[in-house]
């Protein structure tokens, strides 16, 4: 929390006011840190203080920042520099600390959703300390030392990975979006598309201009002018951050979505990186926490861990989830929810006993296999009586479409962590074109899903892009539809069984033929392969 004294306190009373301030903090209790010097305006003084709770086991503020921008804008490099407390060598050494796949090392481009953390202590100091031997971060130690944690969601910049970027923006619920622009390249490629996506999802945006150490002054000036025009076109006020006072003002006004702070940094020389870190330390938590509501956890990834079993990761959207709680997991292919106990909880790789609203975590589940869980499922409190839906209504805005959209149009929908193709069943207008708004009814093609009214959505198909908000959810169709779905599942299981059975017979026959060939014995004297049946 940030405390402002905008009016000012008379200079003769300022010292007494600060003593009262310290006494109040002791009674709360809380810890206050001055983040600006004493500013005098005539006979009055002002100072800005940051106030935080004292450090507690398993408790820290978590703010999620999605990192987007065109390919080669320096996204992964900047995150490597921020999280590992080391500058880049100018050839991308910092970004290699974050890559997860071999082809990412070879191409130098991010293709998956990555997560990196930056921790701050109670007084705003960075607590990330890489191991001096292997230069890796100990996430558990950062969790224990930090009072506030920034989770960076590193998203792909290349156009062919756009669906991964959209899933990262919708499924990971970022508080803010950091749009990266290379000063030497300017606004090119997917930059505008990523900005449009963030604004459509109503996520506040701030811009970081990178590579200013290698950019000629005239090119940098042209890039800044283009950024200024782009920001004005979306009705926002661009503020270039040059001082600590600018940092404080930008952080305080960013949640209002009217201001767009702009940073100019260099990953090689370290220019203005201190301002960017201070900004990360100050920005407030944007989400409203609803801990008294029934628990609601959306799953964005599923794993199988040897010796542990099925593990799911995601975000707690409402309520509180504790160790050994029994929640409902679903919907499955029949639209049903099954009771699942929580075996263990990890938050940022640290074992914890509770997860609260707005926090990300991983759960180990009992008595269920990985194939029974998928992205888009939810874990909810049994008291909420969840129902799956196959059809819903949404208010939509067509951002771009080459021609016209009619009924029966199909597109890929992103609603939270749900990603599935749906059919446009009906709409108010006969045709929809770029820029049109309407209320439309969608129907999922494959599986029922659990969604709530008020959730933001994105749908795309080729060059078509549209956004909207879910306004009404229709419960899943009655028994007849469930019966058809059960028949379909039974048919799929039978086909799978027949395939496995046929494959087994082929393998047995092949082994028998090979043994005949290598033993050089007549077939009549060999063991009958079908005698086992």
Helix (H, G, I), strand (E, B) or coil at 181: strand
pLDDT at 135: 72
Q: What are the structure tokens assigned to 56, written together?
A: 């507690």
pLDDT at 206: 98
pLDDT at 449: 96
How many residues comprise the chain? 533
Alpha-carbon gap, residue 406 to 421, rounded angstroms = 16
**Contact (Cβ atoms closer than 8 angstroms) between residue 369 and residue 352:** no
pLDDT at 101: 52
- Superfamily holding 61-282: P-loop containing nucleotide triphosphate hydrolases (3.40.50.300)
pLDDT at 3: 45
Dihedral of CA atoms 159, 165, 170, 173 in degrees, nearest 10, equals -150
Alpha-carbon gap, residue 144 to 130, rounded angstroms = 15
**Contact (Cβ atoms closer than 8 angstroms) between residue 227 and residue 485:** no
**Contact (Cβ atoms closer than 8 angstroms) between residue 415 and residue 429:** no
pLDDT at 105: 45
pLDDT at 507: 86
Alpha-carbon gap, residue 117 to 350, rounded angstroms = 13
pLDDT digits (tens, 9 = 90+) for 140-174: 899 889 999 999 998 988 888 888 899 999 999 99
CATH of 296-380, one of 3.30.1360.30, 3.30.450.20, 3.40.50.1460, 2.40.30.10: 2.40.30.10
Alpha-carbon gap, residue 217 to 224, rounded angstroms = 11
Which stretches in the chain have pLDDT values below 50? Answer: 1-5, 103, 105-106, 480, 532-533
Alpha-carbon gap, residue 24 to 26, rounded angstroms = 5
**Contact (Cβ atoms closer than 8 angstroms) between residue 95 and residue 108:** yes
Q: Which is nearest to 392 in space by CA: 332, 452, 447, 337?
A: 452
CATH number attached to the domain at 389-475: 2.40.30.10
pLDDT at 483: 62
């Amino acid at each position: 929390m940030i405390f402002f004294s905008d009016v000012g306190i008379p200079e003769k009373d300022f010292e007494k006011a600060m003593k009262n301030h310290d006494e109040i903090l002791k009674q709360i209790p809380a810890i206050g840190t001055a983040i600006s010097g004493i500013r005098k305006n005539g006979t009055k003084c002002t100072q800005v203080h940051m106030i935080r709770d004292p450090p507690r086991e398993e408790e820290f503020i978590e703010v999620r920042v999605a990192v987007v921008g065109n390919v080669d804008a320096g996204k992964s490099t900047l995150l490597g520099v921020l999280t590992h407390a080391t500058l880049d060598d100018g050839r991308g050494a910092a970004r290699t600390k974050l890559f997860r796949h071999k082809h990412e090392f070879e191409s130098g481009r991010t293709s998956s959703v990555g997560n990196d953390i930056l921790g701050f202590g109670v007084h705003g100091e960075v607590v990330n300390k890489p191991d001096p031997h292997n230069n890796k971060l100990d996430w558990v130690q950062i969790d224990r030392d930090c009072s506030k944690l920034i989770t960076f969601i590193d998203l792909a910049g290349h156009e062919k990975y756009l669906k991964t970027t959209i899933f990262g923006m919708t499924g990971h619920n970022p508080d803010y979006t950091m749009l990266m622009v290379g000063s030497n390249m300017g606004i090119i490629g997917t930059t505008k598309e990523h900005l449009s996506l963030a604004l459509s999802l109503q996520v506040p945006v701030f811009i970081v201009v990178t590579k200013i150490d290698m950019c000629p002054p005239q090119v940098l000036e042209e890039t800044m002018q283009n950024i200024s025009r782009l920001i004005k076109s979306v009705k926002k006020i661009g503020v270039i951050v040059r001082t600590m006072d600018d940092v404080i003002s930008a952080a305080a006004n960013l949640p209002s979505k009217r201001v767009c702070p702009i940073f100019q940094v260099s990953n090689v020389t370290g220019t203005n990186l201190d301002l960017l870190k201070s900004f990360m330390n100050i920005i407030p938590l944007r989400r409203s926490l609803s801990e008294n509501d029934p628990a609601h956890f959306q799953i964005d990834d599923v794993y199988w861990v040897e010796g542990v079993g099925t593990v799911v990761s995601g975000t707690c959207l409402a309520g509180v989830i504790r160790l050994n709680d029994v929640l409902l997991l679903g919907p499955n292919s029949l639209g049903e929810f099954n009771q699942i106990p929580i075996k263990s909880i990890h938050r940022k790789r640290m074992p914890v006993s509770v997860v609260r609203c707005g926090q990300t975590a991983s759960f180990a589940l009992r008595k269920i296999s990985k194939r029974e869980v998928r992205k888009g499922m939810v874990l909810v409190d049994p008291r909420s009586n969840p129902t799956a839906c196959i059809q819903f209504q949404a208010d939509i805005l067509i951002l771009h479409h080459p021609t016209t959209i009619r009924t029966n149009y199909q597109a890929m929908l992103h609603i939270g962590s749900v990603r599935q193709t749906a059919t446009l069943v009906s709409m108010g207008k006969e045709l929809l074109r770029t820029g049109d708004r309407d209320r439309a009814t969608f129907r999922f093609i494959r599986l029922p899903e659990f969604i709530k009214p008020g959730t933001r959505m994105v749908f795309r198909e080729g060059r078509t892009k549209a956004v909207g908000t879910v306004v009404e959810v229709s419960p899943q169709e009655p028994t007849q539809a469930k019966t058809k779905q059960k028949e379909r599942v039974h048919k799929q299981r039978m086909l799978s069984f027949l395939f496995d059975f046929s494959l087994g017979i082929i393998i047995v026959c092949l082994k028998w033929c090979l043994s005949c060939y290598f033993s050089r014995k007549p077939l009549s004297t060999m063991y009958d392969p079908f005698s086992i049946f």
